[in-house]
Structure 1
Amino acid sequence: MQVLEDAPLAPLTTLRLGGPARRLVTAGTDAEVIAAVRAADDAAEPLLVLGGGSNLVIGDAGFDGTVLRIATTGFELDGTTLELAAGEIWADAVTRTVDEGLAGIEFLAGIPGSAGATPVQNVGAYGQEVSSSITEVVAYDRSAGETVVLSNAECDFSYRHSRFKADPERYVVLRVRFALEDNGGRSTPVRYAETARYLGVEPGERVEVAAAREAVLLLRSGKGMVLDPADHDTWSAGSFFTNPILTPDQYAAFLTRLDGRTAPAYPGPDGCTKTSAAWLIDQAGFGKGYGTGPATLSTKHTLALTNRGNATTADLVALAREIRAGVRAAFGVELVNEPVTVGVDL
């Protein structure tokens, strides 16, 4: 276990923003993770759990407590059953499953961050979510002071949400277990229209898992969603806002604000309708590359707020607030940020 005082946090996040941690603890085993959590809890000290830093906005003042960086490793594949340590690099794990010809997470290629973060956010992209393949999550329960195993149903997954996100102070994910599919090297059904068009198939068809992964990587790269230190469009937290899910009444009110435009609309849960945050942002006047300061929208995708190299978190937050207010004024829809915020209020 490595312990550093007054440690910079910005280099540990994909936004490269945020002040220092009073103490940074890097844990390489589950036992070290649990020991660090218990030590912080016993001392009643604030604790921030850090994985890949890809879905995190840290305030400029940093974190006045212990930041626990989970650096555990472990990739165990038994047939179609996969167990990942929380610290495993997610993109690398996807590549390894595709190399084995297994399906289930192939459309989640190129997503930055660690495996332990995927159930927290119910990570999803291109028509696939981890909730469709996760069977169990092994976590340390800070309230009970013990390690627990939560089934898929107990994780309470929904769109970009889970039990872990709803109660962020309670659980620290240690391991994630998946049930993958052996379809003879074929993918799960292609569900996302853009991916289907790119692959030249109809939605619902299957393709080679390697072809699915490559298509997703190319599509993500075109939107600046694959990390590249030389490309400031990738200095982001990915999609900054979730796609709004509107109740029937909210959707009816939304339709009255369109002025003849046709907004994307997809069936949501309980009779709700999901629309596109990217479309709303663009139509509200915030196009690709919007902004003149050190924090701007990506030149490749309106959902990514980026650090152009010398931004502060305050710069990024000001841009996020401007965009959120503009969408609210134009369409009466309140955008919700997807990244976790620490020491900063949007």
Structure 2
Amino acid sequence: MPEVTPIPLAQLTTLRTGGAPARMIDAATADELVHALRSVWSEAEPWLVLGGGSNLFIGDEPFDGTVVRVRTQGIERMPSPRPGFARLRVQAGHEWDALVAHAVGEGLAGIEAMSGIPGTVGAAPVQNIGAYGQELVQTLVEVELIDESTGDVSVVPAAELGLGFRTSALKHHYGSEPARRAVILSVTLELAEVGHSERPIAGEQLRSALGLQRGEAVSVAWIRDHVIATRRGKGMVLDDEDPDTYSAGSFFQNAIVSASFARTLPAECPRWPVTPDLDPVLVIPLAAFDGYVPLRPSVESDVKVSAAWLIEHSGVRKGFKLPRSRAALSSKHALALTNRGSATAGELAELARFIQGRVQSEFGLILQPEPILVNVEL
């Protein structure tokens, strides 16, 4: 088990906050990762698994526990039971964008709109990452994971992970514990074999983001290139020359609200319907069945509303910062809180609370943080 000299977490996270841990372990293989986690859990000490550090907001105090860095690599292509598809099994420490580049190079479709997202593959299901209408849940088959409670390794189908909008049963939500405490060892995706030819894009959100007309045909490589360019224009591609990228990406989630609440928001606020379950299972006990099947009640779908629009229209503009603070909103994207130069976690938290208060005051909605918060509170 390769124990290494602890590195301050501010050097390993994209928000550039966090003190040094008491202990640090680098796991380069799945066996090393399993051994390290079982050892840490047996000692009942605080622990943190670190991949790319792009979805973490960590407090300034030293971390009194062990950080296990997941550095496993590898992509294995496997056949799919579905004609026209292929499966990729990917180690948890593999860089997410490197996986997307590999898939696009192989002519595989399903994750190309998620190009440029920082972080590692093992973190992707925890967050159910997504962009421009694509979400991991659409292609995820299963994960191999190790449970903290037992130390057992198992393969879990995607359907058992509680995947939802930027969430899963594995995610540490702000103020609550995950439904299942486990660490992902590998991820298996099923992607369409489309090759390198041009084809029409079905998703309206992706077409809109890339300026495509309905029926206009492009290749997966074209989509990847243009998504990265779009993200770069928003400061959402890691670049040491651009301080707008010293962030955790979107700090606040787009809010999912009821249709009735959405109607209280200004009509100009961008919104997208969240597809309801149109085919719920109706069970009628045989002894009670009288030949009549009741009509299904009409269900009004929930609505996803733009957190960026709410922030800007609450009076907090791009580039905003509080007096004497080294934390600021990105100058390119109202959802990203950025570290403009040695900002403390306290300064970033203060800015986040201010934004939450402004949006709540103007629109009656409390925005929820998207990153995982460690030793810091809003």
For normalisation by structure 1, the TM-score amounts to 0.93
Counterpart residue identity of residue 182, structure 2? Y
2:133–2:206 CA contact under 8 A, matched in 1:
no
CA deviations 1:42-85 (Å, max 9, x no partner) are: 11101111110000001000311011110001111235210110
| Pairs within 5 Å for 1:5-154 | 5-78=5-78, 80-154=86-160
Counterparts of residues 182-221 of structure 1 (less than 5 Å): 182-185=193-196, 186=198, 189-193=201-205, 195-196=207-208, 198-202=210-214, 206-221=217-232
The residue type paired with residue 218 of structure 2 is: V
Find the counterpart in structure 2 of residue 278 from structure 1: 308
Alignment partner of 2:53: what SS?
Answer: coil
Decide whether the 8 Å contact of 1:106 with 1:187 is kept in 2.
no
Contact 1:195-1:216 at 8 Å conserved across structures: no
Give the aligned length.
Answer: 340
2:248 paired residue among 227, 233, 237? 237
Q: Identity of paired residues, percent?
A: 45
Change (3 A) 1:129 1:206: farther
CA contact (8 A) 2:169 2:180 kept: no
Question: Which whole-Å deviations, capped at 9, do the CAs of 1:21-55 have from their partners, x for residues lacking one?
Answer: 11111101111111111111111101111110000
Aligned to 2:353: 321
Q: Secondary structure at the match of 2:352?
A: helix
Q: Deviations over 1:289-313 (max 9, x none)?
A: 0115210000000000000122111
More helix by share: 1
The superposition leaves residues 67-112 of structure 1 with CA deviations (integer Å, 9 ceiling, x where unpaired) of 1110001111235210110000111110011011110111110000
Q: Superposed, which structure 2 residues align to 1:243-322 within 5 Å?
A: 243-252=254-263, 254-255=264-265, 258=266, 262-270=268-276, 271-292=301-322, 293-322=325-354
- The two structures, once aligned, show a CA RMSD in angstroms of 1.8
Distance 1:19 1:262, change over 3 A: same
CA deviation after TM superposition for structure 1 residue 141, in Å: 1.2
Q: Shift of the alpha carbon at 1:4? A: 3.2
1:67 aligns to what SS in structure 2?
strand
Q: Deviation above 4 Å: which 4+ runs of structure 1? A: none
* 2:16–2:342 CA contact under 8 A, matched in 1: no
| One-letter amino acid of the counterpart of residue 309, structure 1 | G
Q: If you compute each CA radius of gyration, which structure gives the higher value, 1 or 2?
A: 2
Match of 1:179 among 190, 212, 236: 190
| Structure 2 segments unaligned to the other structure (5+ residues) | 80-85, 173-177, 277-300
CA apart distance, 1:189: 3.2
Q: 1:337 to 1:187 in 2, by over 3 A?
A: farther
- Structure 1: runs of 5+ lacking an equivalent: none
1:264-289 per-position Cα deviation (integer Å, ceiling 9, x unaligned)? 12112542111000000000011110
CA deviation digits over 1:116-158, x for unaligned, max 9? 0000000000110111001010001122321011111111111
Shift of 1:15: 1.1
